[in-house]
Structure 1
Amino acid sequence: MFHRIWIYLNSMYPPISRMLYAIAHFFGLYFAAQILAGTGPLMITHGSIAGCITVFLFMLYLRVADELKDLEIDLRLFPERALPSGGVNVNDLAVLMGITIVLMFGVNMFYGNAINAFLILFGYGFLMFKFFFYPEVISKSLILSLVTHNPVCILVNSYIIAVFLKDFPEQSFRWEFVLLVLAYWIPMIVWETCRKIRAPVEENDYVTYSKLFGFRTATYVPMAFQCLHFAIVLYLGTYFHYSTYFLIAASLVMILSLAGYVRFLVNPNAKTSKLKPFGEFYMLALFILIIADFIYSHGIQWAIS
C-alpha cells in the first residue's frame, strides 16, 4: 500500500517541488508581513516552520480530496490517471488523507500557534471535499466550483497572517495585509483557469473554460489576472523597495510566461494549449524571487532555540 502511495505522490503531488512551493508561498507572505510591520531582520520561528508544514499538508489534503471526489469523471475521461488506472486505490488514498489530517492537527496543536485560523481553514477544506453538501449543483458547474473552491486560497493566506500575528503579538492587523493576501491569491486564479483551457481540437465531454467561453476569451482571463497581480507586486514595491536585480528578473519572468499565452492565441493546437506550466512558472519563480530579494535586503535570523 505505501509503495503505491509513494508512486501516486511522485506522479500527482511531487513532494520536493510541492514543498518548494509551500516554502516560497508561506515565507514570501510571512516575510512580507514582517517588513510591513517593521520588525527588523527577518525571522524564522517555531510557529512559521509549523505553518509552512501545514500549508504543504493542506495542499496535499486538497489534492487527495479532488482525486476522490472526481473519480467518476476521471474513470470516464482520464482513465490513465493514477486512481482510475488502478495504480492506487480508494483505500490507499483514504489512508493518505487520514495520515495528512492527523499530521496537520498534530503540528498545529503541539507546535503551531494559530490553531483557530487552522480550524477555519481545515473546515473550509472539508466543505470543499463535500462540495458544500450540494454536489449535484456545484460539481456540474465549472463557474460555481471556481467561486466556491478558489477562496480557500484567501483562507490559506489569512492563516499565514494569523501565524505572523501570533509570532509577533505586539503587532496588529494592517490594511496592507489585505494587499498581501491578494498578491498571494491571484496567482492561484491564474493557475486554476489556465489549466482548464484547451485548443478547439482537444475539446471533449470535459467542461473547460475554453469550451464555455471560447479559447481566446478563456485565455485572456489568466493573462488579465496575471497582469493585475504583477501590478500589485510593483505597487507593493513602494513598501518593500525592491532591488534593481529583482525588478529585472521579475520582468523577465512576466514576459516569458505571457509569451506562452500569446503563442497559444496565435497558433492554437494541442501542443501550445498547455498553459499550466507557464502559470506555475510565473507563480513559483516570482515567489522565490520575492523571498530572495527580501533576504538580500533585510537579512534573516533563526528565532529557534
Structure 2
Amino acid sequence: MTVSRASRIWTYQSERFPLKKTAPLLAVFSAASICASATLSGRDIPSIDAFITGFIVAMALFFQVRVCDEIKDYDDDLNFRPERPIPRGLVSLQGVVRFGLLTIPPAIIAVWAWHAPVLWLLFLVWLWLTAMTFEFGVPALLKARPVLYLASHMAIMPLIDLLLTGIEWVPGGGASPHLWMFIALSFVNGCVLEIGRKLWAPENEITGVETYSGLWGVRKASLIWMLCLVVSFGLLCGIGAVTRTLWIVGPLGLIAGAVCILRVLHYRSHPTPKAQADMDTIAGLWVFVCYAIAGFVPVVLRAL
C-alpha cells in the first residue's frame, strides 16, 4: 500500500467512519449489551473473551452498514453530494466494498472461537443488512413512506443487539424474558441517532437530499425526536426497575435527558448550523450515556 493510498483511506475513515468517535461508542454499546443480558438474567458477567468478541463483531458490522449505505446512496451522492469521498474520487466504491468484505472473516472467526451457535444470529443480521441495502426490492415504496423507511432500516439495530446480547445468553442458557426492553431500547436509540443527525439548519438543506427537518419541518421533526428520547428514557427506567437500580438509573437518565431536551429546544427555536451540529453530537451522547447506564450501573452496584 502506497503512502498516498493509506492517506486516502485514513481521510475516508475520518469523514465516513471516524474511529475516534465510533470505537468508544461501539465499545460501550457491545459491552453494555453483554452486561445487560447477564444482569437481566441474574447471571454472572462472562469472561473478557465475550467482550472482545462483541467489540470485534460490532466494529465489523457497523462498518459493513456504512459500506452498504455507500452502495445504496451512490447515485444520490453523485448527483447531490459530490463533496463526499467516493463522488469526489478520494476512494472508489469498489475499494470500499472490498474493505467491507475483508471484515466478514474476522467477525465469523471471533464468533466461532467464542461460541459457534451464535453464528446463526450473525447470519440473521447479514440477511437483513443485504435486504436493506437493496431497499427490500421496493425502493420507491419505502421512499414515499419515510416512517416505514426509518423503521425498516432501524430494525438492523435490535438485530445487532440481539446478536451482541446473544454472545452472553446463547451459551448462558437462554435470554431473560425482560431482554425485549433492551432490544427495544436499541431500536429507539437508533431512531434518536438517525433523526438527530438529520435535523438540519434551513440554509444547509440540499435539494435531493432527504432530511427529517426538510421532510417534516423543524418544529415537527424536533418534537418527534423528543418523543423518541422520552420512549428511550422510559425503557431505560424499565431496565432499572428489573435490575432494582431504578433509584440511580432514573435520576442519571433524567439528568442526561434534560440536557438533551434543552439542546433540542434551542435547535427548535434557533435552527442554525451550530445548533444542527449540536443535535448530531447530543444524539450520539444520549445513546452513549444511555447504554453506559443500562449496561454498567447494575454491574457496578452488584459488585459493591
The TM-score range, normalised by the shorter chain, is 0.7 to 0.9
Letter in 2 for 1:36: L
Q: Do the aligned partners of 1:46 and 1:111 also contact (CA within 8 Å) in 2?
A: yes
Rounded Cα–Cα distance in structure 2 between residues aligned with 1:123 and 1:154: 14
Residue among 263, 269, 283 paired with 1:279 = 283
Q: Work out the number of aligned pairs and report it.
A: 297
Residue 251 (structure 1) aligned with residue 246 (structure 2): no
Counterpart pick for 2:240 among 222, 237, 240: 237
Q: 1:176 to 1:295 in 2, by over 3 A?
A: closer
Shift of 1:244: 6.0
- Normalized against structure 2, the TM-score is what? 0.88
What runs of 5+ residues in structure 2 fail to find an aligned partner? none
- Distance in structure 2 (CA, Å) of the matches to 1:44 and 1:20: 20
For 1:90-239, what aligned pairs fall within 5 Å after superposition?
A: 90-113=93-116, 114-138=118-142, 142-169=146-173, 172-205=174-207, 206-239=209-242
* Residues 29-108 of structure 1 aligned to structure 2 (within 5 Å): 29-40=33-44, 42-108=45-111
Give the distance between the partners of 1:75 and 1:285, measured in 2 at CA: 36
What is residue 270 of structure 2 aligned with on the other side? 267
Q: Decide whether the 8 Å contact of 1:5 with 1:93 is kept in 2.
A: no
Structure number with higher helix proportion? 2
Alignment equivalent of 1:28, drawn from 28, 32, 38? 32
Q: Which residue of 2 aligns with 1:7?
A: 11
Deviations 1:171-213 (A, max 9, x none): x333211111112221111111122222333333122222222
Pair 1:17-2:21 in alignment: yes
1:303 aligns with none
Given that 1:219 and 1:261 are in contact with CA atoms closer than 8 Å, whether structure 2 keeps it comes out as yes
For structure 1, the residue ranges without an aligned partner over 5 or more in a row are 301-305
The 1-side partners of 2:239 and 2:192 are apart by: 19
Identity percentage over the alignment? 18
How far apart are the structure 2 equivalents of 1:131 and 1:235?
Answer: 33
TM-score when scaled to structure 1?
A: 0.88
Q: Are the structure 2 counterparts of residues 202 and 17 from structure 1 closer, same or farther at C-alpha, using a change threshold of 3 Å?
A: closer
| Aligned equivalents of 1:159, 1:106: Cα separation in 2 | 15
Letter of the 1:187 counterpart: N
CA contact (8 A) 2:240 2:294 kept: no
What value does the CA root-mean-square deviation take over the aligned residues? 2.3
User: Quick one: which amino acid aligns to residue 201 of structure 1?
Assistant: E
